[in-house]
């Protein structure tokens, strides 16, 4: 079926959104949201209706829902203020109000008669073998074990990432396909990768089975498939076997010794690692309660294994959003604990990229130890150059250090590794700050607007939008941006800007303050 509205066409059979002859780039969940709203345009659909249809009833934060609606509106030239096509009815729900015409999708014969225009990926394939690891199905009887299947995928992705000759898509982008039946060829086009790994996990008592299949995303051919059974205590060995088999299928000439060296058993204590996986699952939800629960779980993992470096790194990282979102109760005590955990992480995790990169970010953000932090971050990225989240954090650190060109380079790497990242606002925020520091105020404003569109609650991007417009001579937009910033944080003043983000050079915070003062920020 094709739905036609204004200059747009939504093709549900080919899962494509067109504006005229141009094919628009949308993530799978945004496409599903548009499809659901248009198909149900005769009625108001509730938030619960949407969550059931798009997320299969899983818990979804209001911020995540807002992000998808902003992206859907942006894809069809609408906005939250205009609501020309997608209307929000307070306390009731949402409705697609545009005039829609339906027509059948072109038949196979009609498509065959049409001129052949091979669809090109919006992003070029990397110059080395590229792979995305899709979420594994949880085949266990207990749906609460979903975190376990996700943790297995996290570890396999990380293991593959350590092969420098591989290009591995970040988990955040791969997991946008979670809970959905997908077309592997389409996944390959959307993520611009050659290979896709999918599979399943079944945990029953003390036994576990991991099954996987490697698919050529260009042809759809199955290159390899196998399953690995064993005791739960052998989980890391099973993951290593699967990883080795995948690598061997992609590059048969690879020496087994190289594969063996890439293996890294994080801990002998499976209970500790189980808590670590549970904590990782909670970090996907950017709410105060989820953050507190993640921190508790990481602390429990540390209690069970005081040398688990990755748990120290993630526990330290939990304090960063607590500071940024004003969730800290005792700021001095919590800041000191975050720095302690970060130093412990980089000390224990000399070869652990998660420990190094998360610890480094906290040392920069909370301790302002920029030089040491950059050294630790660079070491972590040298070990695992496929860690998209670390490239994002590194971009922010380069902003704070006053290196805008490096910040832009690192942000670009993050976007390429995670092109469908649900937290793209964080990357665009770093890009906006980098352009602001370089004096490119129009580009800073544009990137900040992208970040705001993806996450309307992102205070830093809203501030940079206001400041860059003020210094660029667009006072009306600057005042509008500042008004939004003060809705997010009514206590915002020129005198407390340093609480938002650290800058190594005083001139940079002074420039931000100058722009916001011109936009109307009080002292």
Fold of 396-523: 1.25.40
Q: Is the pLDDT of residue 116 over 70?
A: no
| Section 441-467 average pLDDT | 89
Q: Which of 426, 352, 421 is nearest to 394 (CA)?
A: 426
| Least confident interval from 64-68, 128-132, 424-428 | 64-68
Structure confidence at residue 123 as a pLDDT band (50, 70, 90): low
- Please give the radius of gyration of the chain, using alpha carbons only, rounded to the nearest integer: 24
| Section 39-47 average pLDDT | 90
| Section 358-377 average pLDDT | 93
| Section 412-431 average pLDDT | 86
- What tokens were used for 52? 């059931």
Q: Is the pLDDT of residue 82 over 60?
A: yes
Q: Is the pLDDT of residue 223 over 70?
A: yes
Measured distance CA(21)–CA(44) in Å, rounded? 31
Q: Is the pLDDT of residue 346 over 70?
A: yes
Domains 268-385 and 396-523 alike in fold: yes
Helices within 169-220 (DSSP H only): 171-174, 184-191
Burial of 51 (0-12, 13-18, 19+ CB in 10 A): middle
Comparison of pLDDT for 419 and 122, the residue scoring more: 419
Q: Cβ(241)–Cβ(249) under 8 Å? A: no
| Section 287-300 average pLDDT | 90
Q: Is the pLDDT of residue 110 over 70?
A: no
| Least confident interval from 111-120, 154-163, 377-386 | 111-120
Residue 111's pLDDT is: 38
Q: Is the pLDDT of residue 193 over 80?
A: yes
| Section 113-140 average pLDDT | 65
Which DSSP symbol is given to 127? S
DSSP, residue by residue, 371-411: HHHHHHHHHHHHH-TT-HHHHHHHHHHHHHHT-HHHHHHHH
Comparison of pLDDT for 226 and 293, the residue scoring more: 293
Measured distance CA(427)–CA(393) in Å, rounded? 9
| Section 223-229 average pLDDT | 79
Counting residues of the chain whose pLDDT is more than 70, the rounded percentage is 88
Q: What is the pTM (predicted TM-score) of this model?
A: 0.62
Q: Is the pLDDT of residue 70 over 90?
A: no
| Least confident interval from 22-26, 204-208, 518-522 | 22-26
Q: Cβ(138)–Cβ(149) under 8 Å? A: yes
Average pLDDT, the chain: 82
Comparison of pLDDT for 318 and 281, the residue scoring more: 318
Residue 454's pLDDT is: 82
Beta strand 130-133 pairing with 167-168: parallel
Residue 499's pLDDT is: 79
CA atoms lying within 13 Å on the CB side of residue 360 = 30
Question: Residue 308 — φ and ψ, nearest 5°?
Answer: -80, 95
Q: Is the pLDDT of residue 179 over 60?
A: yes
| Least confident interval from 143-157, 220-234, 246-260 | 246-260
What is the CA angle 370-373-377, rounded to 5?
A: 135
Structure confidence at residue 262 as a pLDDT band (50, 70, 90): very low
Structure confidence at residue 359 as a pLDDT band (50, 70, 90): very high
Domain 130-265 sits in CATH 3.30.460.10: no
For the stretch 460-500, pLDDT in tens is 899 999 999 999 999 999 999 999 989 888 888 888 888 78
Q: Is the pLDDT of residue 255 over 70?
A: no
CA of residue 111 relative to chain centroid, distance? 36
| Section 109-122 average pLDDT | 38
Tell me the CATH class for 2-113.
mainly alpha
Domain ranges across the chain: 2-113, 130-265, 268-385, 396-523
Residue 94's pLDDT is: 92
Fold of 268-385: 1.25.40
Structure confidence at residue 164 as a pLDDT band (50, 70, 90): confident
Residue 363's pLDDT is: 95
């Amino acid at each position: 079926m094709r739905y036609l509205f204004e200059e747009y066409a939504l093709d549900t059979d080919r899962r494509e959104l067109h504006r005229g002859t141009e094919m628009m780039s949308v993530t799978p969940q945004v496409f599903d949201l548009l499809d659901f709203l248009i198909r149900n345009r005769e009625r108001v659909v509730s938030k619960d209706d949407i969550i059931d249809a798009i997320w299969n009833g899983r818990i979804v934060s209001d911020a995540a829902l807002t992000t998808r609606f902003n992206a859907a509106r942006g894809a069809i030239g609408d906005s939250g203020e205009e609501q020309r096509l997608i209307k929000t009815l307070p306390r009731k729900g949402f409705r697609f109000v545009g005039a829609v015409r339906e027509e059948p999708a072109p038949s196979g014969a009609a498509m065959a008669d049409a001129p052949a225009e091979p669809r090109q990926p919006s992003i070029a394939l990397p110059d080395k073998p590229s792979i995305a690891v899709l979420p594994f199905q949880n085949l266990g009887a207990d749906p609460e074990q979903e975190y376990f299947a996700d943790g297995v995928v996290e570890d396999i992705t990380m293991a593959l990432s350590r092969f420098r000759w591989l290009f591995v898509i970040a988990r955040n982008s791969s997991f946008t396909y979670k809970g959905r039946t997908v077309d592997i060829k389409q996944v390959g086009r959307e993520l611009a990768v050659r290979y896709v790994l999918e599979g399943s996990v079944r945990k029953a008592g003390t036994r576990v089975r991991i099954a996987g299949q490697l698919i050529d995303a260009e042809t759809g051919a199955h290159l390899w498939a196998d399953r690995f059974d064993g005791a739960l205590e052998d989980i890391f060995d099973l993951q290593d076997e699967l990883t080795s088999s995948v690598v061997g299928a992609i590059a048969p000439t690879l020496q087994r010794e190289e594969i063996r060296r890439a293996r890294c058993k994080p801990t002998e204590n499976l209970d500790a690692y189980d808590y670590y996986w549970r904590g990782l699952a909670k970090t996907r939800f950017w709410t105060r309660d989820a953050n507190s629960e993640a921190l508790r779980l990481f602390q429990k993992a540390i209690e069970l294994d005081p040398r688990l470096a990755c748990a120290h790194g993630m526990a330290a990282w939990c304090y960063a959003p607590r500071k940024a979102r004003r969730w800290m109760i005792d700021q001095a005590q919590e800041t000191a604990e975050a720095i302690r955990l970060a130093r412990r992480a980089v000390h224990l995790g000399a070869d652990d990229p998660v420990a190094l990169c998360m610890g480094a970010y906290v040392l920069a953000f909370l301790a302002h130890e920029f030089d040491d932090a950059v050294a630790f971050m660079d070491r972590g990225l040298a070990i695992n150059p496929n860690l998209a989240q670390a490239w994002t954090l590194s971009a922010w650190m380069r902003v704070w250090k006053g290196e805008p060109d490096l910040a832009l380079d690192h942000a670009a790497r993050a976007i390429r590794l995670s092109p469908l990242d649900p937290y793209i606002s964080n990357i665009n925020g770093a890009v906006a700050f980098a352009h602001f520091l370089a004096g490119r105020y129009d580009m800073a404003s544009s990137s900040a607007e992208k970040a705001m569109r993806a996450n309307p609650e992102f205070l830093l991007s809203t501030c940079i939008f206001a400041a860059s417009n003020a210094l660029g001579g667009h006072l009306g937009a600057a005042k509008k941006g500042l008004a939004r910033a003060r809705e997010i944080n009514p206590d915002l003043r020129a005198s407390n800007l340093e609480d938002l983000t650290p800058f190594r050079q005083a001139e940079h915070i002074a420039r931000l303050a100058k722009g916001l003062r011109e936009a109307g920020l009080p002292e």
